Amino acid sequence: MARPAGNGESGEIIFGLHAVREALRAKTRPLIRLVVVQQDRQFAELVGLARSEGVPVHVEPRSALDRLVPAGRHQGVIGVVSAKAYTDQADILDYARQRGEPPFLVVLDGVEDPHNLGAILRTAEGAGVHGVFLPERRSVGLTGTVAKVSAGALEHLRVSRAGNVSQLLEALKAEGVWVYALDPQATKPHTSLDFRGPIALVLGGEGKGVRPGVLEHCDDRVMIPMRGRVASLNVSAAAAIVLYEAVRQRGERRGTSQGATGA
């Protein structure tokens, strides 16, 4: 079953307006307490949500929040929550089946920057991805920075840990999932793939990309065409491009579409 993503402590810190708001709304992991710099209009919604759920609210000086979150990136609000639980592989596949949809998965092979991971999680949740897989090593964990950058998406997304990425890909293929890697050295563009069936998109870490040993276990590899002088994109930008090509194709499969705006 699910196991804690934290370090064994009673709680972990999330910060930023979006991340804390979504934690309160999603109710996927209990908020232990809410800390704000003041109870004015800016924080009225958060304070009201917290009190309606019986969550203690503490007002502390900004210097106290700065000690918990360096560089003042907390936006004046911090939440202490129970650790995010990782989801089993089987539970993610079951979730896709329950929705009556072919699995739509993301496998990250060594993303170590929390800002990149948070951005990928935000895009994945918006694209309707059923689950994201992270390696147990060579990967950033589900930190407070990841939660903040995800703008609350982490609270709604199933995330699983994989001890061995190559073995994970073989297990997914045994379940009928097609595994596609994004590789700048590939010869075919990402738009040439059929994303309408059960798929797992494999993205590599910053600078190194998908490891050669992992590429060997993928059914195919594709690249994003680059017309300028830069050879590749940031991994979170690349994820957004390919995931929303999949959204376009899968939307055509269902015959439905929905609009979205960025923030």
CB atoms within 10 A of CB 182: 24
* Residue 41 pLDDT level (bands cut at 50, 70, 90): confident
Q: Which of 12-16, 141-145, 196-200 is predicted most confidently?
A: 196-200
- Pick 240 or 8 by higher pLDDT: 240
The distance of Cα 39 from the centroid of its chain, to the nearest Å, equals 31
The distance of Cα 192 from the centroid of its chain, to the nearest Å, equals 25
* DSSP label of 84: P
H or E element in which residue 260 lies:
none
* DSSP label of 6: S
93-120 exposure pattern, b = at least 16 Cβ within 10 A, e = fewer: beebeeeeebbbbbbbbbbebbebbbbb
3-state secondary structure of 122: helix
CA 181/CA 4 separation, integer angstroms: 29
Q: Which domains does the chain have, with CATH numbers?
A: 7-81 (3.30.1330.30), 85-254 (3.40.1280.10)
Dihedral sign (CA 89, 92, 96, 102)? negative
The pLDDT assigned to 237 comes to 94
Taking only the tens place, the pLDDT of each residue in 128-139 is 999 999 998 888
Residue 46 contacts residue 79 (beta carbons within 8 Å): no
pTM score, whole prediction:
0.76
The pLDDT assigned to 168 comes to 97
Strand positions, DSSP E, 22-169: 31-36, 57-59, 77-81, 85-86, 104-109, 131-135, 159-162
88, pLDDT greater than 70:
yes
User: Of 114, 108, 158, which is closest to residue 140 (Cα–Cα)?
Assistant: 114
24, pLDDT greater than 70:
yes
47, pLDDT greater than 90:
no
Burial degree of 54 (CB within 10 A; 0-12, 13-18, 19+): exposed
CB atoms within 10 A of CB 252: 11
What value does the mean pLDDT take over residues 96-124? Answer: 95
Q: Which of 9-23, 34-48, 211-225 is predicted most confidently?
A: 211-225
Taking only the tens place, the pLDDT of each residue in 206-260 is 878 899 999 999 999 999 998 887 777 889 999 999 999 999 999 865 544 445 5
Which residue in this structure is represented by tokens 């004015």?
Answer: 40
State what percent of residues in the chain have pLDDT above 90.
Answer: 47
The pLDDT assigned to 134 comes to 95
Taking only the tens place, the pLDDT of each residue in 140-160 is 888 878 888 888 898 899 999
Average pLDDT of the residues of the chain = 86
36, pLDDT greater than 50:
yes
User: Of 190, 184, 169, which is closest to residue 243 (Cα–Cα)?
Assistant: 190
8, pLDDT greater than 70:
no
Q: Left if phi > 0, otherwise alpha if psi is -120 to 50, otherwise beta: which for 203?
A: beta
Structure tokens at 39: 């109870």
In angstroms, the Cα distances linking 241 to 6, 7, 183, 197, 244 are 31, 33, 14, 18, 6
261, pLDDT greater than 80:
no
